[in-house]
Amino acid sequence: MSSRTYAILGIVALAFVVLGILFTVETWVECPHCDGRGYNTRKMTCPQCNGEGTVVVEKKQVCPTCDGTGRILGGLFTCTRCKGTGWIYVTEIETCPKCQGSGYVTVKDTCPYCNGRGGKSVSLWEAWFGG
């Protein structure tokens, strides 16, 4: 055989080695649907405040009329403001603690394309030339 034949055989052998590597070596391919995170974020109306950004909270306070004693005028009368309980309830509008007032929350959805794994392990061949 001529040296030219040897050269061709060498190239063919090398090609097989390269192909073998391409098919056996695995590489991690990030899922294009979730940028490799395994989940996608989605904005959703805050369930706690229905998107208002504020919530009404009821707070228990010591009745300022009777100072929490439930009695007024030296104990002669029952305090009408707190009906003798010594406590009053005040409603206050506060920034929604769940959404920090933005009215929406971000939820994570597991990526259905990669089942939350963020990608898959494929051969180099598949990664470069498509499976």
To Zn ion, the closest distance from the beta carbon of 21 in angstroms equals 27
Type and span of the H or E element at 12 = helix 3-24
Q: How far is CA 69 from CA 25, 66, 113, in A?
A: 80, 6, 64
Considering only 27, 30, 78, 98, the residue that binds Zn ion (CB under 5 A) is 98
Amino acid at 64: P
Look-up of token digits 């920034």 = 95
- Which of 27, 30, 81, 122 is close enough to bind Zn ion by CB under 5 A? 81
Piece of the chain touching Zn ion by CB under 5 A; list 1-9, 16-24, 73-81, 121-129: 73-81
Is residue 127 at the binding interface for Zn ion, with CB under 5 A as the rule?
Answer: no
Residue 43 contacts Zn ion per CB under 5 A:
no
User: CA of 79: how far to CAs of 24, 90, 123, in Å?
Assistant: 85, 16, 81
Counting contacts by CB under 5 A, is residue 65 touching Zn ion? Answer: yes
CA 115 to chain centre: 15
Maximum C-alpha span of the chain: 125
Site for Zn ion, rule CB under 5 A: 31, 33-34, 46, 48-49, 63, 65-66, 79, 81-82, 96, 98-99, 111, 113-114
